[in-house]
Amino acid sequence: MAIKDNVKELKKVADSEEQFLESIIKSEFFVKKYKKPIITVVIIAILIPLALATSNFIKDRKFKAANEAYAELITDPNNQKAKEKLKSSSKNLYTIYEFRTALDTNDSAKLDQLSNLDGIDPVLKDLINFSAKKDSGEIMDSYAVFMKGYGYLKDGKIEEANQEFVKIAPNSPLGDIARNLRHYNGAKQ
């Protein structure tokens, strides 16, 4: 019986080794067959995080450079080097700086020039257009109507205020506030 047990044991070992070799051969064929796609996937898996890290690094450096230039301009408004650095690193921040300067000096020509800029944030452009008394976007139009209605409220003219608040579109960012003021003042009467 011991010989039969030994033979069975040897057979099991041989079968497991055969299966192991068979699986190695199958994997070798798989790797040979799909070698290019496997290498492509590995390369992409390495390049994507590397590209994202590089992009974040560049954005961070640009952000810091813009903030440094802005800080320099705040302390020394005549610093042309800082102004150019700010203009090249962040067009929106540069526009905000110029907008603030134009408002402080009451420079309508500068406001007009800023209102014609392309490539800046749409909300900023609406704000500049509103300040330059040009056709501004929906947000600033709603704001103007809202402030007019709020002025009526301060004067105690609730009916006129409600007429102004109704002009604000319900989907406007100020729509909920205007609706609440209408309801509050309606309940107050």
Whether the CB-CB separation of 131 and 106 falls below 8 Å is answered with no
Torsion angle (degrees, nearest 10) of CA 133, 138, 141, 142: -160
Whether the CB-CB separation of 132 and 115 falls below 8 Å is answered with yes
Which residue range(s) make up the domain with 184? 137-189
**Do 129 and 154 lie in a common domain?**
no
**Do 147 and 188 lie in a common domain?**
yes
**What is the C-alpha separation between 184 and 176, in angstroms, rounded?**
12
One-letter identity of residue 173: P
Six-digit token string for 67: 């903030």
The domain boundary residue, chosen from 96, 114, 135 = 135
Phi, psi torsion values for 174, nearest 5 degrees: -95, 0
Quick one: what percent of the chain has pLDDT higher than 90? 11
Within a domain: 70: no
pLDDT of residue 159: 85
**Do 113 and 148 lie in a common domain?**
no
**102 vs 46, 72, 75, 108, CA distance in Å?**
49, 18, 17, 7
**Do 98 and 126 lie in a common domain?**
yes
**Do 171 and 189 lie in a common domain?**
yes
Six-digit token string for 106: 């009451």
**Do 129 and 92 lie in a common domain?**
yes
**Do 187 and 150 lie in a common domain?**
yes
Within a domain: 41: no
Count: domains in the chain: 2
The domain boundary residue, chosen from 91, 114, 135 = 135
pLDDT of residue 187: 45
**5 vs 2, 31, 105, CA distance in Å?**
5, 39, 103
**Do 130 and 86 lie in a common domain?**
yes
- pLDDT tens profile 39-80: 999 999 999 999 999 999 999 998 888 888 888 888 888 888
Within a domain: 145: yes
Within a domain: 93: yes
Q: Which of 5, 2, 1 is nearest to 13 (CA)?
A: 5
